[in-house]
Amino acid sequence: MTTLRATGLPRRAVAPDLPGAVAALIGLGGMALPFVQFRPNRIVAGEALTLPAALGARGTAVLAGLAAVLLLAALGRQRPALRLALGAAAGLGLTLALGAAATALSAGGGTLARVSPAAGFWTMLLAALLLAADGAARLEARPALRWLLLAAGVAAVAALLRSGVLADVSVLREYAARAPQFRAEAVRHLRLAFASLGAALAIGLPLGIALHLQRGLRPAVLGVLDVVQTIPSLALFGVMIPALGWVAAHVPGAAAAGIAGIGVFPALVALFLYSLLPVVANTVVGLDAVPAPLREAAAGLGMTRGQVLRQVMIPLTLPVLLAAVRIVLVQNIGLAVIAGLIGGGGFGAFVFQGLNQTAMDLILLGALPTIALALVAGVALDIAVAQLRRGAA
């Protein structure tokens, strides 16, 4: 395939590449910043070290390799697959260097020593990922290949974490100190995100179908759901505690049904309320978009109203519904962090504990998995939507 574009100007054989140049600028800037932060223990401020200062000649070699990749990208446009591979390799190299620097520095610092990634690491990683993202975006791959790439990315990160090369990085030290709690919070976080999504689908789909059939109800229901979205998450989560506590205490059978003003339940209800609007609105929009002739043809075949809905309307609405699932799942994975503030658990527990103690590693322990989860969920559902659209077309 050709990479030339009709820009109105003839292109020279070796033309500087704009995305490559942006990544190079960011990456080379990152080389001047400290790569790691070294602290005698996890609370006190420590000293910032560049990669060569932390890792000696090996560090210089990694930087030289990265600089070569970045210059290559800035000076000319590689094939998308090659650029993706170069970006991924640069990211892997940086991560391995981080692990090695942590091991080398903490060897002399005792078990309390903490080595955490600093601005330079994040900036250079950003440059590497930008290169990879540029390659991936221009690859215009089919869904099957995108699934494969996503799986490969997840597997690579999992393998890196399991291999132990990063074991001396502060976040993973923090993880090692509280692995059982981490697993419990991860389960709780996922349960919050998925259970609220499930509940929103169970209630939102029928509600959306009802609104599709009864136009008169739309302004009222969608208006109320719109207002719910404007309530700040902190307040909605907070109000749920007394509200559900009151229900549990005063409505017979409510407490037995698991309704409670403490623990996971208030967070679950708050997430559910935020999820309703995207599900209901997209159901209505999707059903409305089914062409009338198709509906009439199905009815003409002798299908009942229910059959038309189940066998024609819903399958055609699926891409729009899946888009709503993407919005809700990504949003809920992010918002579930707030549950940590009201005792609902999840990764937010680490984030807010870390904020209280000004312990960066603890914040990262909560924030990084949340970002990773949201990212994987978002990309996976994007691919699924693309796949459905392709199948429908």
Residue whose C-alpha is closest to residue 82's, from 17, 162, 6: 17
Q: Segment near other proteins (CB under 8 A), from 14-22, 97-105, 151-159, 301-309?
A: 14-22
Our finding on whether 328 is near other proteins (CB under 8 A) is no
- The set of long-range contacts for 240-249, using a CB threshold of 8 Å and a minimum separation of 24, is 240/265, 240/266, 240/267, 240/269, 240/270, 240/342, 241/266, 241/342, 244/269
Helices 18-31 and 80-107: angle between axes, nearest 10 degrees: 10
Give the residue ranges of DSSP H helices in 170-217.
Answer: 170-177, 179-213
Our finding on whether 360 is near other proteins (CB under 8 A) is yes
Our finding on whether 265 is near other proteins (CB under 8 A) is no
Residue 140 Cβ, how far from other proteins at the closest point, in Å?
Answer: 9
Our finding on whether 152 is near other proteins (CB under 8 A) is no
Our finding on whether 197 is near other proteins (CB under 8 A) is no
Quick one: 20 or 290, whose CB is closer to other proteins?
Answer: 20
Residue 271 Cβ, how far from other proteins at the closest point, in Å?
Answer: 13
Our finding on whether 335 is near other proteins (CB under 8 A) is yes
Give the one residue of 99, 204, 344, 348 binding other proteins; rule: CB under 8 A: 348
Q: Segment near other proteins (CB under 8 A), from 100-108, 283-291, 316-324, 347-355?
A: 347-355
| Distance of alpha carbon 284 from alpha carbon 298, whole angstroms | 19
The per-residue b/e assignment along 128-164, b for 16 or more CB within 10 angstroms, e otherwise, is: bbbbbebbbebbebebeebbebbeebeeeeeeeeeee
The contact pattern for other proteins, residues 225-254, with x = CB under 8 A and - = no contact, is: --x-xxxxxxxx-xx-xx------------
| Distance of alpha carbon 167 from alpha carbon 176, whole angstroms | 8
User: In the numeric block, which tokens belong to residue 25?
Assistant: 């600028």
Q: Segment near other proteins (CB under 8 A), from 47-55, 174-182, 207-215, 371-379?
A: 371-379
Our finding on whether 138 is near other proteins (CB under 8 A) is yes
Our finding on whether 76 is near other proteins (CB under 8 A) is no
Q: Segment near other proteins (CB under 8 A), from 95-103, 151-159, 210-218, 374-382?
A: 374-382
Our finding on whether 133 is near other proteins (CB under 8 A) is yes
φ/ψ of 358, rounded to 5, equals 45, 40
Instruction: Identify the DSSP state of 346.
Output: S
Q: How many residues bind other proteins (CB under 8 A)?
A: 55
Contact 258, 265 (CB under 8 A): yes
What lies within 8 Å, CB to CB, of 256 at 6+ separation is: none
Q: List the interface residues with other proteins, window 97-126 (CB under 8 A).
A: 119
Our finding on whether 42 is near other proteins (CB under 8 A) is no
What lies within 8 Å, CB to CB, of 308 at 6+ separation is: 295, 298, 299
Place of tokens 């999840």: 346
Question: What are the DSSP calls for 82-101, one per residue?
Answer: HHHHHHHHHHHHHHHHHHHH
Strand, helix or coil for residue 36? strand
Quick one: 225 or 298, whose CB is closer to other proteins?
Answer: 225
Q: Segment near other proteins (CB under 8 A), from 12-20, 168-176, 251-259, 264-272?
A: 12-20
Our finding on whether 91 is near other proteins (CB under 8 A) is no
User: In the numeric block, which tokens belong to residue 85?
Assistant: 């591979």
Q: Segment near other proteins (CB under 8 A), from 134-142, 158-166, 178-186, 195-203?
A: 134-142
Contact 120, 31 (CB under 8 A): yes
Our finding on whether 341 is near other proteins (CB under 8 A) is yes
Residue 204 Cβ, how far from other proteins at the closest point, in Å?
Answer: 21
Residue 98 Cβ, how far from other proteins at the closest point, in Å?
Answer: 17
Residue 260 Cβ, how far from other proteins at the closest point, in Å?
Answer: 15
Residue whose C-alpha is closest to residue 345's, from 191, 171, 238: 191
Our finding on whether 364 is near other proteins (CB under 8 A) is yes
Q: What is the CA radius of gyration of the chain?
A: 26
Chain positions contacting other proteins, by CB under 8 A:
5, 7-9, 17-19, 22, 119, 130, 133-134, 136-138, 227, 229-236, 238-239, 241-242, 330, 333-335, 337-338, 341-342, 348, 351-352, 354-355, 358, 360, 363-364, 366-367, 370-371, 374-375, 377-379, 382
